[in-house]
Amino acid sequence: MPASPIRKLVPYAEEAKRKGRRIYHLNIGQPDIPTPQVALDAIRNNTLRVVEYSHSAGNESYRRKLAGYYRALDIDVDHTQMLITTGGSEAILFALMSCLDEGDEVIVPEPFYANYNGFTVTAGVRIVPVTSTIEDGFALPPVADFEKLINKRTKGIIICNPNNPTGYLYSRDEMEQLGSLIKKHDLYLFSDEVYREFCYDGHTHFSAMHIKDAGDNVILIDSVSKRYSACGVRIGAMVTKNKEVVSTAIKFAQARLSPPSFGQIVGEAALDTTADYFEKVQQEYVERRNLMVRMLNKIEGVVCPMPKGAFYTTARLPVDDADKFSQWLLSDFEYNNETVMLAPASGFYSTPGLGRDEVRIAYVLNTEDLEKAIICLQKALEAYPGKTV
């Protein structure tokens, strides 16, 4: 089981805090955006006398309401075609274990969400990477590159759209190319769409569930964590029109009994969040993104593409080793008694050696703190012994 590149440096951060240093956390996708009031009120005003098990697939009232949310997005599903899960993480794990056997392979564009490594290890599945590059803004690699990797063990493709860790938003054309590929080779498409609401500059989200005639091949992964800034409630969903996958996944769901009761209460209530909440959140993220990209690209040797969605970027730094640099930031560096915590990008790649000079940055801090963090990063790059410019 691989260590998380997002969390493996926590001991160094804890030691830096013991020294009295302030740390700007750009390493983890924990938004500082307030959770919608309607969701918080559902907990504060709850009158349950017994916190019972729910149905293993999740509360029916929540699943019915969630189906309505999807239908409003032109995703035609009902409450029987989904499982409520303990975060999007469990949804991915249930999907992999339901659809694949030990030793099977999934193709994943890299860099990818690092915990896919952990999920596939747990499921006994092998990741086969297809590499996207910072020079292309981390666009979807050519479908021909996917096709070269397909063999008798290949059973699926995993994508995250909008993408974590790059912020890239796959276009309708790119998604339809993937759709043609999965139909041609009868593969599953596991589509992680937890950042659906965060698409910028007039770009719109095209769901894998919108791919024509691919219903049985598509497994949608979703979560309330980032959409409603409610990471700690641990509620996600696995959605598919494939009845056999649902009937298999429910066995895994029964084995863990039920998803969290209070989390489901929050998730169900959050569906009443008004559109103006998302409008304000989008405006805030766009302001943060623009500030971050502008400041990073002014630093000598730094390359930062413009993210189209989510709230991450993968940037190239002028350093010999981003893992060493990220650790050095916490153990040896301070500027005005402050420092920055980053996520080294090597852990988001499967191909050895890639991402050694890249980091994932989550622009989840307010603009004042984000500006201070990037100034601190600039000072660190100037002082780092292993700088390459």
Which CATH number goes with the domain that contains 101?
3.40.640.10
Average pLDDT, integer, range 346-369: 96
- Pick from 255, 270, 285: which residue ends a domain? 270
- In terms of domains, do 358 and 375 share one? yes
- In terms of domains, do 81 and 114 share one? yes
Res. 5 pLDDT band, cuts 50 70 90 = confident
With the C-alpha atoms ordered 274, 275, 277, 278, is the resulting torsion angle positive or negative? positive
| Angle formed at CA 43 by CA 37 and CA 49, multiple of 5 degrees | 160
**What pLDDT, in 10s, does the model give residues 145-191?**
999 999 999 999 999 999 999 999 999 999 999 999 999 999 999 99
Instruction: Provide the domain limits for residue 14.
Output: 10-34+276-383
**What pLDDT, in 10s, does the model give residues 316-345?**
999 999 999 999 999 999 999 999 999 999
**What pLDDT, in 10s, does the model give residues 250-300?**
999 999 999 999 999 999 999 999 999 999 999 999 999 999 999 999 999
**Distance between CA atoms of residues 194 and 220, nearest Å:** 9
Integer angstrom CA distances of residue 123 from 92, 100, 238, 249 = 10, 8, 16, 13
How many domains is the chain built from?
2
- In terms of domains, do 280 and 182 share one? no
Residue 389 lies in a domain: no
110, 348 Cβ separation under 8 angstroms: yes
**Distance between CA atoms of residues 116 and 221, nearest Å:** 12
Specify the pLDDT at position 4.
81
Residue 290 lies in a domain: yes
**What pLDDT, in 10s, does the model give residues 247-261?**
999 999 999 999 999
- In terms of domains, do 229 and 265 share one? yes
- In terms of domains, do 254 and 241 share one? yes
Question: Whole-model pTM?
Answer: 0.96
Who contacts 155 (Cβ-Cβ below 8 Å, separation ≥6)? 99, 100, 101, 104, 105, 106, 187, 188
**Distance between CA atoms of residues 64 and 79, nearest Å:** 5
- Pick from 249, 270, 291: which residue ends a domain? 270
Q: What is the CATH number of the domain that holds 305?
A: 3.90.1150.10
Identify the DSSP state of 84.
E
- In terms of domains, do 26 and 91 share one? no
Average pLDDT, integer, range 207-225: 97
Region of residue 24 (left: phi > 0; alpha: psi -120 to 50; beta: else): beta
**Residues of the chain by 3-state class (helix, strand, coil), percent to 5:** 40, 15, 40
Residue 3 scores a pLDDT above 80: no
Specify the pLDDT at position 6.
75
Who contacts 308 (Cβ-Cβ below 8 Å, separation ≥6)? 162, 167, 168, 169, 199, 200, 201, 203
Residue 220 lies in a domain: yes
Residue 4 lies in a domain: no
- Pick from 220, 237, 270: which residue ends a domain? 270
235, 82 Cβ separation under 8 angstroms: no
Specify the pLDDT at position 355.
96
- In terms of domains, do 103 and 162 share one? yes
Taking the mean position of all CA atoms in its chain, how far away is CA 256?
24
Specify the pLDDT at position 1.
79
**What pLDDT, in 10s, does the model give residues 28-85?**
999 999 999 999 999 999 999 999 999 999 999 999 999 999 999 999 999 999 999 9
Residue 5 lies in a domain: no
- In terms of domains, do 247 and 159 share one? yes
